[in-house]
Structure 1
Amino acid sequence: MKNLKIILTMLVLIVIASACKDELIVEDPNNPTTADFGKSESDFREVVIACYNRIRLEGTFARVGYALDAVRGDEVWNSSQQWYLEYDNLNSPGTIDIGDQWPWRDNYHVVNRANFITTYIDEVDMPEDSYNEIAGQARFLRALAYYNLTTYYQDVPLITDYEDYSDLEKLYKANSPQEEVLDQIEEDLSMAMTLLPSKDKGGEWALGRATSGAAAGYMARVLMFRHKFDEAYPILRDIIAGKYGSYRLMSDYGDNFRESTENNDESLFEVQFMNFGTGGTDEEWTPVNISPDATQGHAIESNFASQELGSWGDLAGAPWLYNLFKAESSTDGRLDPRLYWTLVTYEDEYDLYTNQNTAAYPNGDPRTNVAYQQELTETPLSNNAQGGISIAKHTNARTNIYASITNGLQCGVNLRLMRYSDVLLRAAECENEINGPTQIAIDYINEVRRRVALPDLQLADFPTADHLFEQIANVERPKEFGCENGRGRDLIRWGFFYDQGRLQQLIEHGYYVTDGTANTDLLTAATASNSSFNTYTPGNEYFPIFQGTLNANPNLEGNSANKNEDNSTKFFANGYSVHPVVELE
């Protein structure tokens, strides 16, 4: 009887189970699967947002990825003598993750998401304008990521098909030659220039998003990296003429470095960060932090600002840059106002600049010698132990929003990656490369100089293209863009690592002292503690590919930095040349 009951019970259960064929399936709309995601316009718009999110990570522009190119240049040195030291000295062994791995990791996050869009968007019906906006942004952001990757790591794997991620053999790609990567970047930017609306047509939509003007500006950068001046120049002239939207220099140089004047008329593209105090409480140091309370600021301020005033004090402005600012006064005898916004120094002259609501100096605040609401009586130290001159750019040192620095991903100043002043100075450079020194080139430069009340340059003072190039490369650009991301790339494209005269010049620009003071002396080999470029060896103008990445991918090879291989032969074989060092009057 007992066995019979068991058998009957089992039969009942089987009947019940077989009868319940129509099950209620509830899909969580907040957790789409790979099978159902990517079927609608809204899905692709979410992926675009995910791409933008990835350019706000440590390895892209939230800290390390931005700072590495600045410290690679000759305007910034490593005042902590710890973090970034190997990248300042251009001698990383390839085993340090902050520079050898993090930018690689985070930029490929951008690539991967953009690849999803470019691979599948044609399978979804949507209005043409929507398609153009989504596809154009994906193309721009992928180009931006690959531009960062190839100008940091030289020969990198080129992946453009999302399907490749499902095949290990395709996923573990070998290095692509830098020229192939640059070809792909040009292709992406060319499409983005066509697909994206201009800043004017984009309206509110364009604030913070990539536009055709952003794509055109970066196309000019890539072409100039390859010495294609005759191709870059027409694009730059079109930007100036308004083909891609209306751009102009802001009357106040400081408007490029305040939270209150973000996405202004001078900005072609900038990385968006939340204003200080509005970005959450959880530090988003890694790409896996999905907390709804994640901070949404950047940590550039923690690197750039003064340790004496609360930051980590990792990086400092080069004494060479400080003295470059001091060498030339504005037409009314005042200091170049870009010094005020680039470096935090105490200047006696600032006490005289009261109630000067002009392009040159603070907006009528009589307390001009103030940083973080503290009145300065001397230049604050970048690093308490080593010394150095504190960097003001992309910090709130000069805005007085708060009295003390909150280290971490807290600073809300948007990072302006490309400004209209860059367009003007690049146009001058192209004009000089193609036609030699002309009044046209001089006029482009003078437009930038007039914003800060510097006297006009005169064509007669530049007898050769070499002389005008020297003015652009080692006077105009460092004073306009000092301590920003981009100088390291310029040094590579100009070939400064492949000419002994230029390399010696870099050594002299890179002199610093570790005497515990904010030394502003114009240093020499005899008076400097060292130079950031004394340890440079051929090939290390690029950063090495992380050894762990090489170990994980059997098809990947080290680059010139891993192998200490000289890139000068390749540079000159491409038909590129280096302007010799000349003395300016």
Structure 2
Amino acid sequence: MKRLNIFLAILALIGGLVSCDDQLDVTNPNAQGTYDFGDTESELQEAVIACYNRIRLEGTFARVGYTMDAVRGDEVWNSSQQWYINYDNLNSPGTIEIGDLWMWRDNYHVVNRSNLVLSKVEGVEMTEESYNQIKGQALFLRSLAYYNLATYYQTVPLFTDYSDYSDINTMFAANSTQDEVFDLIETDLTQAMEMLPSRDEGGEWAQGRATCGAAAGYLARALMFRHKFTEAYAVLKDIIAGKYGHYELTADYGDNFREGSAYENNKESLFEVQFLDYGTGGTDEEWTPVNISSEATQGHAVESNYASQELGSWGDLAGSPWLYNLFIKEKCTDGRLDPRLYWTLVTYESEYDVYTGIKTAAYPDGDPRSNTVYQQEMTKTPLSNNSQGGISIAKFTNARNNIYSSITNGLHCGVNLRLMRYSDVLLRAAECENEINGPTQTAINYINEVRERAALDDLQLADFPSTDALFEQIANVERPKEFGCENGRGIDLLRWGFFYDSARLNQLVEHGYYVLDGTANTDELTAETASGSSFQYYYKGHEYFPIYQSTLNANPNLVGNSANNNEDNGPAFFEKGYSVHPVVD
């Protein structure tokens, strides 16, 4: 009897376990898991849109993911002397979330969602056109995220398979080298170029989406980061020739920084991040990946950092006096100020009041140009930060749009962030031509096309006797005036190796001079007249941002980068055969 009872108990236990297994195998259709999504074409189309959504977070491009590279450059400084201070000074200890974690976190959200799409697209039946569009966009967005990660954090883990996240051994991945990351970026973008339609072919579908032109532009950037000038030049010349769609400079430089369908996704834009026009979104601010709301404002907070405290903003960042004086030193052919100053920095210039209604190459559309900012008439330059001073930044704010009269801090600004413009293609083509063939008329012509839009005199080849001389003009005149206060200057300084040459580093110190005198100081500063310079505090290796210490603690396979370890990247830079152009006065 005792044996019978034991046998019956065992049978009952087995039966219970089997019945539990049957229950666990049942899928609740009302509780769909992540990996259950994406098994149809329509679901994959939705998943791609979800990938785009993640480039609108604070750590990607809605705030610090955009401005952190600007403050790393030499034309923007941290006028509040807080919040961004460790990143302006390039000496973060690796324990501050704003730069050490947020950009890492949010860019990996883009990688994660892109990988889901890529893991599903091969198994779903659809037309070749749909397949190419879906896969091409996912490849582009993944490469965009890794481009950000590699240029911010140097050595980061590579995830290319969505199943990697299902196993703790693969989820806790080790660092890949920066070259390995860029190998993937180049591979992804090359594929995306072949799969995506051009903006012309894509029509309405292509508005705001990645196209083959966007992929080609970013591929050229990736190649130039590793000094592959010949390969990059071939891509750039194809873009200029129209192989990836038609691009040209807008007649008015300001159209690249205005809000609204008449200006955004224009003929100059290769790729931009889409934000809803001011006041058309919801009321909830979606700062991080976890507080997703159907009522999100769907704007950005770059304005809250760039605009002046006097005008209601946070006023954390300011343009450098060096950048202001670059604009002032060279007048347009009709004697006017460079119109790019108007759209880059918020300064009181009496000349603007007399430009109203006059059509010239400098201001081709004849719109009134006056000292009106946020619908207030200016009689002096507002301060970026009331206590410290600093020149307020106009780009990607309402300062020159004047759509609304007061700033609502947070994720509310609706000006799309143009991440790559055709002017960048032209100036990069000039740089590649100069690197390969030395100063030539071809390189000069590319530069002059950009200068002519601003009604500046053409450069003359005879004025540039060497590759170094023309490089100096491109790097420290043409690019900062065209792209001042935009994301990308810090990345330029990395690829040019300016941190690894004592003369170049000293030049950065001079460019980064500021005065803490409670005014928007526009003087040409020297070591004697400046309060300090962002670059005087630079620690070797901190041209990259450290990986957050808590992230390192949580992942036993991850090690710190050069910023975590205060390591000089100069020797490795030169071992690759790269060189730094000497300073040319």
Pairwise TM-score range, normalised by the shorter structure: over 0.9
**Cα displacement (A) at 1:359:** 4.8
Q: Is the 8 A contact 2:391 2:520 kept in 1?
A: yes
**Cα displacement (A) at 1:125:** 1.1
**Cα displacement (A) at 1:445:** 0.2
The answer to whether structure 1 residue 404 and structure 2 residue 413 are counterparts is: no
Q: Unaligned 5+ residue runs, structure 2? A: 1-18
Partners of 2:525 and 2:267 lie apart in 1 by 38
Partners of 1:488 and 1:33 lie apart in 2 by 40
1:102 is aligned to 102
**Cα displacement (A) at 1:511:** 0.1
Stretch deviating more after TM superposition (42-51 or 340-349): 42-51
Counterpart of 1:197 in structure 2: which amino acid? P
1:56 is aligned to 56
Partners of 2:460 and 2:416 lie apart in 1 by 35
SS for the counterpart of 1:387 is coil
**Cα displacement (A) at 1:35:** 5.7
1:11 is aligned to none
SS for the counterpart of 1:383 is coil
CA deviations on 1:71-127 (whole Å, 9 max, x unpaired) are: 000000000111111000000000000100000000000000111112221111111
1:581 is aligned to 583
Equivalent in 537, 546, 549 of residue 548 of structure 2? 546
How does 1:226-245 map onto structure 2 within 5 Å? 226-245=226-245
Partners of 1:65 and 1:425 lie apart in 2 by 24
Partners of 1:34 and 1:293 lie apart in 2 by 22
Q: Is the 8 A contact 2:89 2:538 kept in 1?
A: yes
Q: Is the 8 A contact 2:257 2:395 kept in 1?
A: yes
**Cα displacement (A) at 1:293:** 1.0
1:186 is aligned to 186
1:116 is aligned to 116
CA deviations on 1:544-574 (whole Å, 9 max, x unpaired) are: 0000100110110000000000000110011
How does 1:329-340 map onto structure 2 within 5 Å? 329-340=331-342
How does 1:19-58 map onto structure 2 within 5 Å? 32-34=32-34, 36-58=36-58
1:65 is aligned to 65
Equivalent in 482, 488, 504 of residue 484 of structure 2? 482
Partners of 2:494 and 2:139 lie apart in 1 by 25
**Cα displacement (A) at 1:358:** 4.4
**Cα displacement (A) at 1:361:** 3.4
Partners of 1:258 and 1:358 lie apart in 2 by 20
2:126 is aligned to 126
Q: Is the 8 A contact 1:75 1:478 kept in 2?
A: yes
Partners of 2:95 and 2:85 lie apart in 1 by 13
1:286 is aligned to 288
**Cα displacement (A) at 1:157:** 0.3
Partners of 1:50 and 1:365 lie apart in 2 by 38
CA deviations on 1:307-329 (whole Å, 9 max, x unpaired) are: 10110000000000000000000
1:77 is aligned to 77
Q: Is the 8 A contact 1:253 1:359 kept in 2?
A: no
Partners of 1:33 and 1:269 lie apart in 2 by 32
1:385 is aligned to 387
Q: Is the 8 A contact 1:199 1:245 kept in 2?
A: yes
Partners of 1:34 and 1:268 lie apart in 2 by 32
Partners of 2:230 and 2:422 lie apart in 1 by 20
1:447 is aligned to 449
Counterpart of 2:55 in structure 1: which amino acid? I
Q: Is the 8 A contact 1:362 1:368 kept in 2?
A: no
Partners of 2:35 and 2:525 lie apart in 1 by 63
SS for the counterpart of 2:112 is helix
Q: Is the 8 A contact 1:229 1:430 kept in 2?
A: yes
Partners of 2:552 and 2:49 lie apart in 1 by 30
**Cα displacement (A) at 1:32:** 2.7
Partners of 2:143 and 2:431 lie apart in 1 by 23
2:558 is aligned to 556
2:355 is aligned to 353
Percent pairwise identity: 76
**Cα displacement (A) at 1:252:** 0.1
Equivalent in 461, 464, 467 of residue 463 of structure 2? 461
**Cα displacement (A) at 1:215:** 0.2
Q: Is the 8 A contact 2:513 2:531 kept in 1?
A: yes
Counterpart of 2:294 in structure 1: which amino acid? P
Stretch deviating more after TM superposition (364-373 or 390-399): 364-373
SS for the counterpart of 1:534 is helix
1:521 is aligned to 523
Partners of 2:47 and 2:221 lie apart in 1 by 26
Q: Is the 8 A contact 1:248 1:265 kept in 2?
A: yes
1:422 is aligned to 424
1:4 is aligned to none
Counterpart of 2:111 in structure 1: which amino acid? V
Counterpart of 1:410 in structure 2: which amino acid? H
Tell me the TM-score normalized by structure 1: 0.94
Q: Is the 8 A contact 2:251 2:364 kept in 1?
A: no
Cα 1:120/1:501, change in 2 over 3 Å: same
Q: Is the 8 A contact 2:493 2:499 kept in 1?
A: yes
Partners of 1:228 and 1:35 lie apart in 2 by 39
Stretch deviating more after TM superposition (277-286 or 474-483): 277-286
Cα 1:399/1:358, change in 2 over 3 Å: farther
CA deviations on 1:484-529 (whole Å, 9 max, x unpaired) are: 0000000000000000000000000000011100100000000000
SS for the counterpart of 2:529 is coil
Partners of 2:485 and 2:288 lie apart in 1 by 25
Cα 1:370/1:171, change in 2 over 3 Å: same
Counterpart of 1:429 in structure 2: which amino acid? E
Partners of 2:425 and 2:476 lie apart in 1 by 17
Q: Is the 8 A contact 2:252 2:364 kept in 1?
A: no
2:495 is aligned to 493
Tell me the TM-score normalized by structure 2: 0.94
Q: CA RMSD in A?
A: 1.4
**Cα displacement (A) at 1:290:** 2.2
Partners of 1:531 and 1:335 lie apart in 2 by 27
**Cα displacement (A) at 1:38:** 2.0
Partners of 2:43 and 2:122 lie apart in 1 by 13
1:223 is aligned to 223
Q: Unaligned 5+ residue runs, structure 1? A: 1-17
Partners of 2:381 and 2:35 lie apart in 1 by 59
Partners of 1:482 and 1:554 lie apart in 2 by 40
Partners of 1:351 and 1:202 lie apart in 2 by 42
CA deviations on 1:327-358 (whole Å, 9 max, x unpaired) are: 00000000000000000000111121111244
**Cα displacement (A) at 1:366:** 4.5
Partners of 2:495 and 2:584 lie apart in 1 by 18
**Cα displacement (A) at 1:27:** 6.2
